[in-house]
Chains A and B, each alone.
Chain A
């Protein structure tokens, strides 16, 4: 079974860390990740840019683009995509197209700060996903 671990914390606190604090946390996380890698268990891990960089497409009719992260509590996080796109406009085009296929809720577009591919090959990921 593949699991996603979703990371939550106060971004005001995290982005106020000094370089030394940030590096210390990353080093501690790295130690855990190394162990998981050695066990052949770690898939992609990523860090998002702050919510100030987020733009949300509400899948209303017509869809509405709003600055900022998705902030409602009525809906829950159900999945996500990673895409390589030219810019925000293209990302919103993709979100609109996906929204037509699956109306309701919203897509939040957030650039990635960091992407670590992990040790699982595409075949292993596919097999584990069943």
Chain B
């Protein structure tokens, strides 16, 4: 590996820890980021000759802290006013020792860094952009590309998000157990948002956006290394891995969606599936089910089935019922109905979704599923009506094309019956 490549890899993996610690010292995101940038510049100068330090993160924290303090001192000599607010803990700063990385600091530093990106005032897209910029260290250009927007627009979005969190109350004290659990849950939700931003892309953007899914998996693994006994974080990591494992099989050569049951399972990434299965196995031992674990368990049952016919639909329906209890929502019931149609037949599935029309009347998948159930029941005219509604609600060309395929099948069947 060239000098630059290994330094880049080392800086990337040390980044959340280093910025997290610098943020704890300086209590200001911009100062922390500048200090980290300065440390990186010095790393690029000295590491190629001297080799990497034993602990890259500690090195970056110490060098970054000293560089930022020099900056503060220079500024305070000019103004004759020491900027006390900027230095949170003078005693600590005077300690010549390198940052001692005791487990609790390290974990809470990274968690805090991730947590400030999930501020409830920030819309989801800003949370994601901010996390990718600050925690992952992607460039504005890379993030803009992944979101399919211009660089200037993305720059503005990130600046706006930063301004908003700068005004917000950032919690710098070490959290208690309840607060820590809340932060972990918020960060997990943000990581899953990043994952879905990549996963829900159409075929045209799938390759660029896969970067987002991969980054989410990296963050999920990081979170799990910090909080190794959290079954929901095991579940989140497993869920991302099991879904991402299917990425190569999800679109055909023309960019049309390939449904799970029609996917070429030889394209599924077995190593990701193996890791996902191992994690869900580990999580279930805790007997503390949560939404990520259940969704991962569902994905695991699909991954374990060698062919669609081997899928354990009854177990999948049971898991969706568990999910309904934990997080009741019409969308979960709709998914349960799809499993029920396979396990128990379309009539019972249709009965399950009939009460949902009020809630899901604007939802593409609702009419797609209803059309499919009606089709299986031989109620072709009603099926066609449902499919027409679905097309009018489709979000992407691929979704519409998929439903048109179903309608074509209906017409072909009708012709065949007439002939």
**What residues make up the interface of A, taking CB atoms closer than 8 Å to B?**
10, 12-13, 15-17, 21, 25, 49-53, 55, 65-68, 87-89, 111, 113-114
Contacts and interface: CB of A to CB of B under 8 A. Distances in A.
B275 to A, nearest CB: 5
A92 to B, nearest CB: 8
Contact of A12 (B13, B234, B237, B275): B13
Nearest to B220: A52
B65 to A, nearest CB: 22
Contact of A53 (B1, B5, B278): B278
Given A13-B10, A114-B271, A52 B224 contact: yes
B285 interface: yes
Q: Interface size for chain B: under 10, 10 to 19, 20 to 34, or 35 or more residues?
A: 20 to 34
Contact of B282 (A13, A50, A53): A53
B282 A16 contact: no
Contacts of A89: 281, 285
B157 interface: no
A44 to B, nearest CB: 18
Nearest to A86: B281
B93 interface: no
Interface string B271-289: 1001100110110010000
Contacts of B225: 12, 51-52
Main secondary structure of the interface of B (DSSP, over half): helix
A87 B281 contact: yes
Main secondary structure of the interface of A (DSSP, over half): mixed
B228 A52 contact: yes
9 contacts: A13-B10, A15-B221, A16-B218, A50-B221, A65-B285, A66-B229, A68-B228, A111-B275, A113-B275
Contacts of B281: 87-89
Given A52-B224, A52-B237, A67 B271 contact: no
B218, B225, B234, B282 interface centre (most CB from chain A within 10 Å): B282
Contact of A113 (B1, B229, B274): B274
Contacts of A15: 218, 221
B87 interface: no
Interface of B: 1, 5, 9-10, 12-13, 218, 221-222, 224-225, 228-229, 234, 237, 271, 274-275, 278-279, 281-282, 285
Contacts of B234: 52, 67
A86 to B, nearest CB: 10
A52 B13 contact: no
Contacts of B12: 13, 16
A67 B218 contact: no
Given A52-B228, A111-B274, A13 B9 contact: yes
A13 B13 CA distance: 6
B221 to A, nearest CB: 5
Ranked 8 nearest A-B pairs via Cβ: A12-B13, A68-B228, A53-B278, A111-B278, A52-B224, A88-B281, A67-B229, A67-B228
A49 to B, nearest CB: 5
B101 to A, nearest CB: 14
B164 to A, nearest CB: 29
A53 B224 CA distance: 9
Nearest to B215: A16
Given A16-B218, A89-B281, 19 more contacts: A10-B10, A15-B218, A17-B9, A25-B1, A49-B275, A49-B278, A50-B221, A52-B224, A52-B225, A52-B228, A52-B279, A53-B275, A53-B278, A55-B285, A66-B229, A68-B229, A88-B281, A111-B275, A113-B271
A84 to B, nearest CB: 13
B159 to A, nearest CB: 27
B9 A88 contact: no
B216 to A, nearest CB: 13
Nearest to A69: B228
A64 to B, nearest CB: 12
Contacts of B13: 10, 12-13, 16
A53 B237 CA distance: 10
Contacts of A53: 275, 278-279, 282
A21 B222 CA distance: 20
Nearest to A10: B13
Contacts of B222: 12
A49 B228 contact: no
A52 B275 CA distance: 9
Contacts of A52: 221, 224-225, 228, 234, 237, 279
A49 B274 contact: yes
B285 A88 contact: yes
B53 to A, nearest CB: 12
A114 B271 CA distance: 8
A65 B229 CA distance: 11
A55 B278 CA distance: 10
A111 B279 CA distance: 10
